[in-house]
Amino acid sequence: MKILILGAGVVGTATAYYLHRQGHNVEVVERHSSAGMDTSFGNAGGLCPSFAAPWAAPGMPLKVLKMAMQADAPVRFSLWPEIDRMRWSLQWLRECSSKRFLVNKLRMQRVAHYSLSCLRSLMEETPIAFDFHPGGVLQLFQTPAECEYGKISAAALTEFGIPHHLLDQAGATGVEPTLRDARITIAGALHMPADASGDSHAFCQSLARWLENEGVKFRFDTAVGRLLTEGGEAVGAETSAGVLKADAVVVAMGNQAPALLAPLGIKLPVYPLKGFSITAPVTSTEHAPNMSVMDEHNKVMISRLGNRIRAAGMAELVGHDLSLKLNRKDKLIRVVRSIFPNGIEYDQATFWAGLRPMTPDGPPILGSCGVKGLFLNSGHGSNGWTQACGTSRVVADLVCGRPPEIELDGLTYERFQR
Ligand SMILES: Cc1cc2nc3c(=O)[nH]c(=O)nc-3n(C[C@H](O)[C@H](O)[C@H](O)COP(=O)(O)OP(=O)(O)OC[C@H]3O[C@@H](n4cnc5c(N)ncnc54)[C@H](O)[C@@H]3O)c2cc1C
């Protein structure tokens, strides 16, 4: 089969791998000049299935309002009455009950754990390098209230059978010795040793290069204009390089997927949630962290990517605006420096903003959307790097007419059509 994949972020590139592996003629179309240049470029690097949970959670609406009112607020939303944001926010509010949270979390966990095992197999099957680090993730708590939250999370992890340890300050420093330099109060920590980290941009670049050598065509610097259908069936796409025909089309365009699908009457509830990251060189391996650390107090995730540190956080509902705000960079540096004051060249930090393609309930949207030959791999939100290999394997199986290895319940477009 000739298959067109639209978008070469982490999701499109991984989809190309799984479809190529199943023997198909794969062509990837990407507007940028190489793979992984959009949201997959500067994310926090966490490969953290244990964390996978929806942002739509009980108590979250009030928490968001409170956080938005703080000076230096980690959360911000525009009050401009934009229809898409208002519709998405209402759907999100409906998903914030305890019952819905549990349903959605279980769905995300199902994908995320499967995905990490798919990634590990992919690493055995290809020679790609992306600063993968299997050292687990440590969630840090600075207040008694955060420790209580940690206990609730630990109970849920026990229920899901996920390895974890609740630690005090000495225990946290035991697993991540560089915390001995921290200038914050460590009230407690939750260690999830099965999680990992890696650079998703390097993954995309390395995998795309390998796939190109294997015969997969990557058509860079090519913008997709619209989808082409004949008799209700997807037959290709109109692009800046002309019409490209295919037997099947996979949409992996992150935040741009809703606009592409709208003319076909497919209303994808995916809204961009802006975040920021810094990347700084490590100057002393003795002082910079080895494992991923999630500062729960400031909602900042810090990962070691080879000889660099990446830290990311913040959430802004401001449409597709990608402008960089220096106060966000200063805040990220302040937070990381308070935990790891030594061994990192903060003056050399680069700054980035990206848009998480969020569904209101949390899980991604996979597979069929009612148009024959058209497949979705969209809405990966704040866990897209963690979920990409799993969702891409699922979508590749669906394209080939094979039953996926995980249950699809709650992971398809159908849940928004009811
Ligand atoms: C601040 C931040 C921190 C994050 N931290 C983590 C983390 O620690 N762990 C984790 O698992 N996830 C994390 N994420 C989420 C993760 O980065 C995303 O879910 C993931 O990158 C989405 O991948 P994607 O391939 O769907 O989208 P993208 O990477 O955006 O790829 C879509 C591609 O489609 C292309 N495209 C779009 N429109 C067109 C067009 N018209 N024509 C041609 N090409 C087009 C784009 O150029 C792009 O390359 C984070 C995100 C942010 C913003």
Q: Which amino acid is at 160?
A: F
Nearest protein CA to atom 4 of ligand 1, as residue: 43
76 pLDDT band, cuts 50/70/90, is: confident
CA of 254 to the centre of ligand 1 (A): 5
pLDDT (tens digit per residue) in 77-105: 888 888 999 999 999 999 999 999 999 99
Specify the ligand 1 atom closest to the Cα of 313: 1
CA of 36 to the centre of ligand 1 (A): 7
Domain ranges of the chain: 2-40+202-268+362-416, 49-96+132-196+271-358
pLDDT for the residue numbered 43: 98
CA of 384 to the centre of ligand 1 (A): 7
Give the integer Cα–Cα distance in Å for 201 and 130. 8
338 pLDDT band, cuts 50/70/90, is: very high
179 pLDDT band, cuts 50/70/90, is: very high
- Residue of 29, 33, 40, 260 with the most ligand 1 atoms within 8 Å of its CB, for mutation: 40
Pairwise pLDDT comparison (130 vs 80), residue with the higher score: 130
pLDDT for the residue numbered 397: 98
pLDDT for the residue numbered 36: 98
pLDDT for the residue numbered 68: 83
pLDDT for the residue numbered 240: 98
Ligand 1, CB cutoff 6 Å, lining residues? 7-12, 29-32, 37-40, 43-46, 200, 223-224, 252-254, 256, 275, 277, 301, 312, 354, 356-357, 380-386
Residue tagged 């996920």 (tokens): 162
CA of 364 to the centre of ligand 1 (A): 12
Average pLDDT of the chain to the nearest whole number = 96
Residue 380 has pLDDT above 80, yes or no: yes
pLDDT (tens digit per residue) in 280-321: 999 998 888 989 999 999 999 999 999 999 999 999 999 999
The pLDDT > 70 percentage for the chain reads 100
CA of 39 to the centre of ligand 1 (A): 3
The pLDDT > 90 percentage for the chain reads 90
CATH architecture, domain defined by 49-96+132-196+271-358: 2-Layer Sandwich (3.30)
Nearest protein CA to atom 3 of ligand 1, as residue: 43
Give the integer Cα–Cα distance in Å for 31 and 5. 12
Q: What is the fold, at CATH topology level, of the domain defined by 2-40+202-268+362-416?
A: FAD/NAD(P)-binding domain (3.50.50)
51 pLDDT band, cuts 50/70/90, is: confident
Q: CB of 350 within 8 A of CB of 267?
A: no
* Stretch 3-11: mean pLDDT: 98
Give the integer Cα–Cα distance in Å for 88 and 360. 6
CA of 392 to the centre of ligand 1 (A): 14
pLDDT for the residue numbered 27: 98
Give the integer Cα–Cα distance in Å for 95 and 103. 10
pLDDT (tens digit per residue) in 202-252: 999 999 999 999 999 999 999 999 999 999 999 999 999 999 999 999 999
pLDDT (tens digit per residue) in 246-263: 999 999 999 999 999 999
pLDDT for the residue numbered 203: 98
Helices 98-125 and 10-21, axial angle in degrees (round to 10): 60
- Give the three-class secondary structure for 33: coil
Count other C-beta atoms under 10 Å from residue 290's C-beta: 16
Specify the ligand 1 atom closest to the Cα of 352: 1
pLDDT (tens digit per residue) in 352-369: 999 999 999 999 999 999
- Residue of 18, 34, 38, 317 with the most ligand 1 atoms within 8 Å of its CB, for mutation: 38
* Stretch 101-113: mean pLDDT: 94
pLDDT for the residue numbered 160: 80
Buried b / exposed e across 152-170, counting CB within 10 Å, b at 16+? Answer: ebbebbeeeebebbbbebe
pLDDT for the residue numbered 159: 83
Specify the ligand 1 atom closest to the Cα of 357: 19
Residue 166, φ and ψ in degrees, nearest 5: -85, 130
277 pLDDT band, cuts 50/70/90, is: very high
Question: Read out DSSP for 53-108?
Answer: --S--TTHHHHHHHHHHSTT-SEEE--S--HHHHHHHHHHHHT-SHHHHHHHHHHH
pLDDT for the residue numbered 77: 83
* Max intra-chain CA distance, the chain: 66
CA of 203 to the centre of ligand 1 (A): 13
Nearest protein CA to atom 26 of ligand 1, as residue: 254
